[in-house]
Amino acid sequence: MARSRDVEFHDFVSSRWSAVFHFARLLTGGDRYRAEDLMQEAFVKLWFAWPRVGQQAPEPYIRKVLARAAMRSARRRWWAERPADLLPERADTADETTRVDERARLEAGLALLPARQRTAVVLRYYQDLSESQVAEAMGCPLGTARSLVTRGVARLRQAMAETAEPVK
């Protein structure tokens, strides 16, 4: 029985790793390393809850754990990691597509939002959850979730408009 639990969990993690990582990265405003830390925390919690949620709904469970961990993480003042003294070489960006540039602008805009607004916007529009599902995932009332989404989108639009660069 324990062997099948291991296999089922491994299969879920393997199949959903990329999507969960992208979701976590959006929640952290594009910070890859914080996203990896959040994912590790979420997958550990999922492992212990797997007997309860494995056959039912592991996707909403991991989404809720990630959203709450991201909000909790944003309240901390220091994440115990600092940038390295040596920066990696910059990639040649001359041949990047507009889509990649837009994604980078979006991640930068998301990084400017407060953690709760960023979480609400990502849950609502990236995860395509309903307002009530956003409220449930964030553990807040429906009206609060609506307000966070509305204000977050307004701030994101403003940030995107301020950083708009003409295409050369």
pLDDT tens-digit readout, 44-72: 998 998 888 888 888 888 988 898 888 88
Show the DSSP H helices in the chain as ranges.
Answer: 2-27, 32-53, 58-75, 98-112, 115-121, 131-138, 142-162
Residue 105 has pLDDT above 80, yes or no: yes
Mean pLDDT taken over the chain: 83
Please report which confidence band the pLDDT of residue 84 belongs to, taking 50, 70 and 90 as the band edges. low
Task: State pTM to two decimals.
Answer: 0.56
Q: Provide CB contacts within 8 A for 145, sequence distance 6+.
A: 120, 131, 132, 134, 135, 138
pLDDT at 119: 92
> Higher pLDDT residue, 130 or 73?
130
pLDDT score, position 124: 92
Residue 85 has pLDDT above 60, yes or no: yes
Q: Which pLDDT value is given to residue 164? A: 65
pLDDT value of position 98: 75
In percent, the amount of the chain with pLDDT more than 70 equals 83
Average pLDDT of span 126-147: 92
The pLDDT-based confidence of 81 (bands split at 50, 70, 90) is low
Q: Residue 120 above 90 pLDDT?
A: yes
CB 159 within 8 A of CB 109: yes
Contact 113, 155 (CB under 8 A): yes
pLDDT of residue 80: 57
